Amino acid sequence: MYQLQNFDIEHFLTEYWQKKPCIIKQGFKDFIDPVDEHILAGLTEEDSVDSRIVSYEYQKWQVNHGPYDDINQHCIGAWSLLVQSVDHYIPQADLLMRAFDFIPHWRMDDLMVSYSNENAGVGPHLDQYDVFIIQGKGSRRWQVGLPGKYQSFRPHCDLSQIPEFTAVIDQVLTAGDIIYIPPNHPHNGIALEECLNYSVGFRAPTQQEMLSSFADFAIDNNVLAKRYSDPKLQRRTHSGEIKQQEVLAFKQFLQQTLESELFSEWLASFMSQSKVVSEEYEQEQSFTVQEITELLAQGASFIRSPGVKAVFAEQPLNGNDNFTFYIESQAFSIPAEHTNWLIDFLSAPQFSHSPENPSEKCLFFTQLLSTLVNSGYWYLE
Ligand code: SIN
Ligand code: CO
């Protein structure tokens, strides 16, 4: 388990989240790297893993994308190997990400791990998303500036950089230190020696993505098919004109769709999608409810598969008869009276047998657990 130290969640959220960069000195005491460079290099051999090497030699930037048969040929000059979504493949890396669970799952993206040699980095740049960068073994100098008008350029077609900027943070991070960088803050990390870095990445949907997904949801479920009507239509001189009143009426017509009860269901479904759907944890055999019950009685533990986001909308007080949550946009419903233990189960990374646990006696739970395990969303330890 990784537990944040020297860190006040409330203070961080009020003062820094999406506002100011900061350093959390020794955020992880006695930090143990969840991976090493050999594990990282091994991952880059897989077709499904998104990796790249950024190198700088003789004043020239190069970017090469994995998968790699022979990674060494790209490791020239000062180089960094960057591997996306390591949390999906390595359970220990997923545990490191879980230390940031005070921010909702649906706001999280993935854990990117980089290994750099001395003097390496990807150059000064901007990112659109928040990031916590944890320093693993080795040390790295981090400079962070304030948002402004930076002219970005591409020293290589796959690499966006900005010119030098004025740093408001300029510090060397060592193992267990963390830096938080809000979106659009210029930053640059230069390895002072061989080092590992872990970037907990976040995501924030655009209005375009949300509207497009909401429309797909309406079509798939054959809802929101009401047609515009205008019983008070008045005669007009210019037949192509949409009157201001009508613009307003159309706006309200569309606003009704956002007011509908469906909206929160769609939102939970939309936010439950992850970037990478890992097939790693799919079970070879499927379990019957009876087998799951027996396994629990024997003391078995079930673990939420890395990368799985179980998302639900907070229920209104006199809510529905059923509680529904989503994983990868797939809906799971059980009677609302079981909500309390269910949300505890969904939020915990692991479920173990305990005689006092009310859920274990409930058939809905064992049925649900077997469906989740058979779908690869939870797995038997
Ligand atoms: C890195 O880990 O090398 C780069 C992280 C970043 O600056 O976004
Ligand atoms: Co960055």
Residue to probe by mutation, ligand 1, list 51, 82, 177, most atoms within 8 Å of CB: 82
pLDDT, tens digit, 9 for 90 and up, residues 243-302 = 999 999 999 999 999 998 889 999 999 999 987 665 655 666 789 999 998 888 888 899
What's the CA-to-centroid distance between 187 and ligand 2, angstroms?
6
Amino acid at 33: D
Per-residue pLDDT, 359 = 64
Q: Which residues form the pocket of ligand 1, taking CB atoms under 6 Å from any ligand atom?
A: 80, 82, 114, 116, 122, 127, 131, 133, 187, 189, 197, 199
Indicate which atom in ligand 1 lies nearest the CA of residue 113. 2
Per-residue pLDDT, 279 = 62
Contact (CB, 8 A) for 145 and 187: yes
d(CA 340, CA 79): 49
**Burial label, 166 (beta-carbon count in 10 A; 0-12, 13-18, 19+):** exposed
d(CA 48, CA 279): 10
Per-residue pLDDT, 280 = 59
How far lies 312's CA from each of 194, 271, 297, 332, in Å? 42, 9, 29, 10
What's the CA-to-centroid distance between 12 and ligand 1, angstroms?
22
Per-residue pLDDT, 349 = 80
What's the CA-to-centroid distance between 20 and ligand 1, angstroms?
18
What's the CA-to-centroid distance between 32 and ligand 1, angstroms?
19
Of the candidates 180, 190, 252, the one whose C-alpha atom is nearest the C-alpha of residue 23 is 180
Q: Which ligand has the nearest atom to the CA of 52?
A: 1
Q: Which ligand has the nearest atom to the CA of 186?
A: 2
Per-residue pLDDT, 358 = 61
Nearest CA residue ID for atom 1, ligand 1: 114
Residue to probe by mutation, ligand 1, list 137, 197, 200, most atoms within 8 Å of CB: 197
Of the candidates 39, 32, 135, the one whose C-alpha atom is nearest the C-alpha of residue 90 is 39
Positions of the chain with pLDDT under 50 = none
d(CA 231, CA 155): 60
Sheet holding 60-65, edge to edge: 22-24, 178-181, 131-135, 195-202, 108-116, 78-83, 51-57, 60-65
CB burial readout 285-320, b (16+ within 10 A) else e: eebeeeebbebbeeeeebbbbbbbbbbbbeeeeeee
pLDDT, tens digit, 9 for 90 and up, residues 229-243 = 999 999 999 999 999
DSSP 157-192: TTEEE------SEEEEEETT-EEEE-TT--EEEEES
DSSP-assigned beta bridge partners for residue 159: 156
Indicate which atom in ligand 1 lies nearest the CA of residue 197. 2
SS3 195: strand
How far lies 88's CA from each of 343, 345, 379, in Å? 22, 20, 13
Of the candidates 197, 190, 162, 155, the one whose C-alpha atom is nearest the C-alpha of residue 176 is 197
Nearest CA residue ID for atom 4, ligand 1: 122
d(CA 43, CA 265): 36
Residue to probe by mutation, ligand 1, list 33, 81, 114, 202, most atoms within 8 Å of CB: 114
How far lies 375's CA from each of 249, 341, 372, in Å? 45, 21, 5
What's the CA-to-centroid distance between 125 and ligand 2, angstroms?
6
Whether the predicted model's global pTM rises above the 0.95 cut: no
Which tokens in the block code for residue 268?
């939970």
Contact (CB, 8 A) for 142 and 131: no
Query: Cα 82 to the chain's mean position, in Å?
Result: 17
How far lies 284's CA from each of 298, 375, 379, 380, in Å? 21, 11, 11, 11
Nearest CA residue ID for atom 5, ligand 1: 199
Enumerate residues with CB within 5 Å of ligand 2 (an ion): 127
CB burial readout 33-60, b (16+ within 10 A) else e: bbbebebbbebbeeeebbbbbbbbeeee
